[in-house]
Amino acid sequence: MPDNVRPQSGDSRRDLRGSSGPARHHLLTSLFGIEGLHTLSVYREHGGYGSLRKAMFEMAPEDIMAEVKTSGLRGRGGAGFPTGTKWGFIPKGVPGPKYVVVNGDEAEPGTTKDRYIMENSPHMLLEGVLIACYAIGAHQAWIYLRGEYDGPYEMLMAAIAELRAEGILGDRPLERDYPLDIQIYRGHGAYICGEETALLESLEGKRAQPRARPPFPAVKGAWGRPTLINNVETLSNVPWIVAHGGAEYAKFGLGTAKGTRLLSVSGNVQNPGVFEIELGTSFREVIMEMAGGPPPGRRMKAFWPGGCSAPVLPEWGLDVSTDLDEVARAGSMAGSGGVIVMDDSHCMVRAARRLLQFYAHESCGKCTPCRVGGNWALRTYDRVLEGEGSDVDLGIFDAIQESLQNGRCLCALGDSAGFVIASTMKHFRSEYEEHCLEHRCSVEEQVVAASA
Amino acid sequence: MAALSEHAIEEIRALPPRFPHIRSAVLPALDVAQDELGYLTREAMTEVAELLDLDPGYVEGVATFYTLLHLEPIGKHHFYVCTNLSCDLRGAYEICDHIKRRIGVEGFDEVSADGLFSLEEVECLGACEFAPMMRYQRRYHYDLTPEKLDALIDAARQNGGERAADPPRDAAASQKPRGRRASSRGPTKEDSAELNA
């Protein structure tokens, strides 16, 4: 096997780029790197499925929910909604099935943490899923996994087969009369499926267009039934919380951002990777130390702190902390934890154009501002980058970003496209003016001059 | 009829019991069809629709939504290269240009004259710490360089363009999910009516 191909099973350490091994703040990744961690036997040797046993034999469902609430865990998919509160929305005592749906459609540009979890420790996710099922009174979980994730798919399939063979999935898991099952549903390539109601539409075999709410999925989700939808990383925290208690988890982090989270750092850094950090760590430490900072001779110009849908921050953003509220106060959002770093050899207008290409392509077409706005912005960027811009285009960018935002669409995709235009214009207006008014790019000129 | 083999038809017929509602089987069924034919022909989509008791227009409407479903032929060796920002910042478009030169195509989504290769520009594949990267033959390929691409393209040409065997699609397919059995009731007619709305 050529060494550039990721092994699909076997030694996960071969190209583990990011956190692994014990450290005070490694709640998720402390076992990562252990030979064979993806197998049930090794996961169990290190205490795996102890939390499920504890949950099912020593705790009532409401106790589990209380621990998750106490932990202060907030959703790691992007919105940061308190997990315990979300669990509490699932109605009790309704007849008929309820579902746990795992959002494994990781597709926010710059975000790789869910893949990192599933490839390294698939059983940690599955244990969290089963505990969530028990806590909300569901017997069936569906993992919606993005279709391109062949590696995680094979890892999860193998892990589920092991659980069936061992009787942890089935009619009497751990000899207890509480049937449990997990199925995987593979996506087919659509960013919008990361939005929870679009995901449900896709799971039901439809074009993935977000639903109007209410009703919320907790009341009427998959196939019309009460459904809990959580992100992969969110549920992967649950075994630790059950084992150690919510109060212990809440000792990590600060303010209303408790615990640790995985940040995937990519772009122009020397040591890209997925790093588990305690919430509150500064972006300077994450980008400059853990990820090694920009390449030699380059200066960091800007970074997107939470996937490309989070408004870009210029260099001063390094002193912002990863606390969810502080990122919001800085005018951006912690989002999905995908930190994209750009150095001073890249043009911001060109970067914004590439991101608008993404939003234009991924718009589901349901809401007019997003369907029309994304493509209109993209065509405007193309015109400007071809040297045909004018002051009119500055006004067009402004008009488009405004009409994409402010809740004019059913989901956040339109807003996100608006954020890209608005934030890059706010912090890097001079580059827009150069392109639109002077038909030149000083960044490109510098790069060309340096290489001459 | 008969766009699909007996085997594929059997596989599609086995799908609906896995789901609380038959409609959920449409995307997995399109996977079966695409795996067999390389891309989705109109005849194949019509056949899928008949097997699942759905309208052919509905099935085509679903198929056109998702980028992993191909409505036009692609090369036997299809490169899904990510060009989103994290990969772009690390030279993804140079990698694309190199592939285009090596396989002899002008642009994305064009199949090489020998039918062996095609290149698709895709959005973030979720492996940005290994940028630039791509998906090829159901595997992720990391830290791409022109040399790595050359090796893959040469190997593909040498073995006569045969694709590597696909891994088994779904080992859990034999296991029925638990939704209906474990509960007092399955989806009722009202549920179905709503889902069909």
Q: In this predicted structure, what is the pLDDT of residue A297? A: 95
The CATH number covering residue A355 comes to: 1.20.1440.230
**Tally of domains within chain A:** 3
Task: Name every chain A residue with its beta carbon within 8 A of the beta carbon of B131.
Answer: 266-267, 272
CB contact under 8 A, B177 and A140: yes
**Residues A64, A242 contacting (CB under 8 angstroms):** yes
pLDDT at B64: 97
Say if A2 falls within a structural domain. no
**pLDDT one-digit tens code per residue, B128-174:** 999 999 999 999 999 999 999 999 999 999 986 666 555 555 544 44
The CATH number assigned to the domain holding A333 equals: 3.10.20.600
Which of A343, A367, A391 lies at the terminal end of a domain, its last residue? A343
Residue A3 in any domain: the answer is: no
The Cα–Cα gap between A400 and A363 comes to 15
CATH number of the CATH domain containing A50: 3.40.50.11540
* Interchain contact, A205 vs B194, CB within 8 Å: no
For the cut 60, the answer to whether the pLDDT of residue B196 exceeds it is no
Q: Given this model, what pLDDT does residue B57 score?
A: 97
H helices present in B64-162, as ranges = 85-88, 92-103, 146-158
Q: How far apart are alpha carbons A417 and A419 in whole angstroms?
A: 5
Structural domains of chain B, with CATH? 1-72 (1.10.10.1590), 77-158 (3.40.30.10)
Query: Which pair of structure tokens corresponds to residue B12?
Result: 């599609």
Residues A380 and A445 in one domain: yes
B70 touches chain A (CB under 8 A): no
What pLDDT shows up at residue B174?
44
Alpha-carbon distance A23 to B34, whole Å? 46
Instruction: Name the residue among B29, B34, B35 with its Cα closest to residue B10.
Output: B29
Q: Is residue A122 in some structural domain?
A: yes
Q: What is the pLDDT of residue B194?
A: 45
Which chain A residue lies closest to B155 (C-alpha atoms)?
A2
Range of the domain at A285: 253-343
Greatest Cα pair distance in chain A: 74
Counting as low any pLDDT under 50, the low residues of chain A are 1-14
**Same domain (yes/no): A129, A261:** no
- Tell me: do A243 and A280 sit in the same domain: no
Which pLDDT belongs to residue B181?
39
A6 belongs to a structural domain: no
Answer yes or no: do A45 and A146 share one domain. Answer: yes
Q: What is the pTM of this model?
A: 0.93
- Contact at CB, A338 and B21, closer than 8 angstroms: no
What whole-number percentage of chain B has pLDDT above 90? Answer: 79
Tell whether A398 is covered by a domain: yes
Same domain? A193 vs A339: no
| Co-location of A279 and A336 in the same domain | yes
pLDDT at res. B161:
64
B37-62 pLDDT tens trace: 999 999 999 999 999 999 999 999 99
pLDDT of residue B184: 35
Say if A1 falls within a structural domain. no
Residues of B (34-53) whose Cβ lies below 8 Å from A: none
A181 and A122 co-located in one domain: yes
A257 in the same domain as A214: no
Identify whether A303 is part of a domain: yes
* A317, A360 Cβ separation under 8 angstroms: no
The tens digit of pLDDT for each residue in B56-67 reads 999 999 999 999
Contact B128 A186 (CB under 8 A): no
Q: Name the residue among B140, B178, B187 with its Cβ closest to that of A181.
A: B178
Are A68 and A91 part of one and the same domain? yes
**Residue B184 CB coordination number (10 Å):** 8
In sequence order, what are the residues at sequence separation of 6 or more whose Cβ sits closer than 8 angstroms to the Cβ of residue A310? A304, A327, A332, A333, A334, A335, A419
